[in-house]
């Protein structure tokens, strides 16, 4: 039987990116400068910052659409179930469970993931505590056993020539899948607002732990490509324009 691989890693790798804080500023400036708009490049840092701050605080969102970033993400299917619900300004191409045998890579939570329902737990406002090493091992042991069993049954079905697109029905949403994701800065900002949990957020969100882990990696890449936009967004309560 194939050995399964267990991991807590969620990979977010940069494939390509274009756009800059200056490009956003130029797109915005066309409204008041028009036909004689400067070529991209020559906005002073202080003017750039002032303009981007105005755009963000007044929620003029469209200038933030001129650019894009493509990342290659390796994450459990349960993360894709949420990520793919971002429809506007996002493009996807994902690994197929119909055309290839899915690799035996499964998700286990890291030890510091809060995972046990807290005292006074409420279904619609759930809070969780971390667990001790012993309990962590028990939980991971159960998950591992379940994953192993499901992958064994999957291979069992494949060995009988069963359609991969049917056999995979027994594989849990903890199995990994790779996907290329492309989005513009505005759509990324919306994703980050919803899928991170930060004390400086004006509108608190309670994202799933695993998509939050992906979002934090994406945010680091975003901050490198659009540093002023990112900083001002944080200062403005992280509300996407």
Active site residues: 195
The answer to whether 55 contacts its own copies (rule: CB under 8 A) is: no
Q: Footprint of its own copies on residues 141-170 (CB under 8 A)? A: 142-143, 145-147, 149-150, 153-154, 156-157, 160-166, 168-170
DSSP 34: G
Contact status, residue 21 vs residue 230, Cβ threshold 8 Å = no
The answer to whether 133 contacts its own copies (rule: CB under 8 A) is: no
The answer to whether 138 contacts its own copies (rule: CB under 8 A) is: yes
Distance of alpha carbon 24 from alpha carbon 40, whole angstroms? 9
Q: Footprint of its own copies on residues 103-132 (CB under 8 A)? A: 103, 105-107, 109, 113-117, 121, 123-124, 126, 128
Contact status, residue 113 vs residue 127, Cβ threshold 8 Å = no
Contact status, residue 227 vs residue 68, Cβ threshold 8 Å = no
The answer to whether 188 contacts its own copies (rule: CB under 8 A) is: no
CA distances from 45 to 42, 50, 115, 227, 228 (A): 9, 9, 45, 12, 9
Q: Footprint of its own copies on residues 60-79 (CB under 8 A)? A: 62-63, 65-68, 70, 72, 74, 76-78
Q: Footprint of its own copies on residues 196-235 (CB under 8 A)? A: 203, 208-209
């Amino acid at each position: 039987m194939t050995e399964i691989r267990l991991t807590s890693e969620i990979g977010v790798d940069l494939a390509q990116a274009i756009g800059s804080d200056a490009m956003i500023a130029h797109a915005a400036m066309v409204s008041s400068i028009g036909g004689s708009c400067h070529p991209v490049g020559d906005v002073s840092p202080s003017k750039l910052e002032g303009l981007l701050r105005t755009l963000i605080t007044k929620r003029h969102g469209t200038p933030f659409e001129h650019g894009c970033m493509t990342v290659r993400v390796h994450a459990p299917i349960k993360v894709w179930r949420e990520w793919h619900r971002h429809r506007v300004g996002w493009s996807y191409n994902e690994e197929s469970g119909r055309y290839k045998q899915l690799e035996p890579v499964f998700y286990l939570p890291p030890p510091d993931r809060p995972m046990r329902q807290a005292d006074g737990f409420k279904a619609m406002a759930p809070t969780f505590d971390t667990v001790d090493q012993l309990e962590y091992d028990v939980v991971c042991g159960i998950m591992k056993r379940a994953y192993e069993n499901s992958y064994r049954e999957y291979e069992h079905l494949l060995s009988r020539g069963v359609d991969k697109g049917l056999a995979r029905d027994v594989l849990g949403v903890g199995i990994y899948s790779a996907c290329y994701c492309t989005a513009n800065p505005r759509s990324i900002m919306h994703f980050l607002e919803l899928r991170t949990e930060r004390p400086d957020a004006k509108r608190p969100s309670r994202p799933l732990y695993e998509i939050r882990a992906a979002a934090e990696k994406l945010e680091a890449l975003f901050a490198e490509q659009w540093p002023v936009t990112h900083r001002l967004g944080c200062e403005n309560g992280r509300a996407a324009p």
